[in-house]
Structure 1
Amino acid sequence: MNDPKLAVAVISGLAMLLLVEPGAQAQQDNQLIPQSSTTSQASHPKHSVRQKQVSKPGQTHTSKQITATRAALAQVAKPHQLILQVNSNDPAMMNLTLNNATNVAQYYRDLGEPVSIEIVTFGPGLHMLRDDTSPVKPRIEALAMSNPEISFKACGNTQENMRKAENKDISLIPQATVVKSGVVRVMELQEQGWSYVKP
């Protein structure tokens, strides 16, 4: 866990759960202990039933606290995950994708929730990450510095096909990471539960 804020949130949540849980368990145990002897319960069945039906006010509140804490821990433990695909050499689409990525990152940053965003390029969309042809190179450089949760993936198959077609090495911007296949990358991330958006 590399994010200090995330680590603090998880530790705080676990501490709260440990402090609250024993009290709730003790109250549940108390319910199992008879309030009076068996003889007394037998002679006063209505009174006995009434005792079992009376709930303790603190118990409901404690259970809600536990539920809320567990929900918060589950939310903190698993980040939101988004795939954005670019497969067109269209500057408008590239800028729209960067806008979407920035907006999503900011939304969850404001909520204090972790998010991972991958922009996957393949086919003509690889021009977005080419060092010599990217129309959004300066924007990606600035974006990568302020939004570490956004990463950029370049299709290795496309890069190789462009190299053969243009008879030269295809250099990528420093922010790009090459994957074997952009389409396979999108598919595998979806299989892992990532959300997929195509502009």
Structure 2
Amino acid sequence: MLTFALIAVTVLVSWLAFERPALLNRLILWPPAIDRKHQYDRLITHGFIHADWSHLLFNMLTLYFFGRLIEGVIAQLIGPFGFLLFYLSAIVIAILPTYLRHRHDAQYRSLGASGAVSAVLFAFILLQPWALIYIPIPVPAFLYAIGYIAYSFWMDKRGGDHINHSAHLSGAIYGVLFMLLMEPRVGAIFLERLMRPSFG
């Protein structure tokens, strides 16, 4: 499954980057390297490295729990490699607002799969709005989504915690839009399921 392959590659590359600072510095999103040196690959490679093991573990567990279902759905819609296209494009789309905002900021750096993982999570929420998400108490997915968006928006405006909340927001929006673009009926299905609570 592509979900497992993405997890394996991300764990491997992150681990190598933990051990080799030069590799991390080459893969991380550093806007001037893109703007001046045209290293556009950084728009993707930053999504395969992480700040530490806890950062990596959180993202990969989230991808594991929600990615498998979304991979199956997307495979039915656009083919077996559709999920890979979705995930890689989500890495890029989620980071674009950040890149544009900090395009000339030599002090700014960003890394992690959070933007793409947010896209996967919100694609799942669109399909299963009443699924329970444990944080650690069980919360219906659509309520979690509301809180997640509100918190990410607030923290993005506030700043100061060294977390790229803008990528979380962009990824979440992209996850929803991608699913609606691939299958417009998903919107009606979401509303129908939302009106019929089910925790099974």
Q: Which has the higher strand share?
A: 1
Q: Which has the higher helix share?
A: 2
Larger Rg: 1
Shorter-chain TM-score above 0.5: no
TM-score (norm 2): 0.25
TM-score (norm 1): 0.26
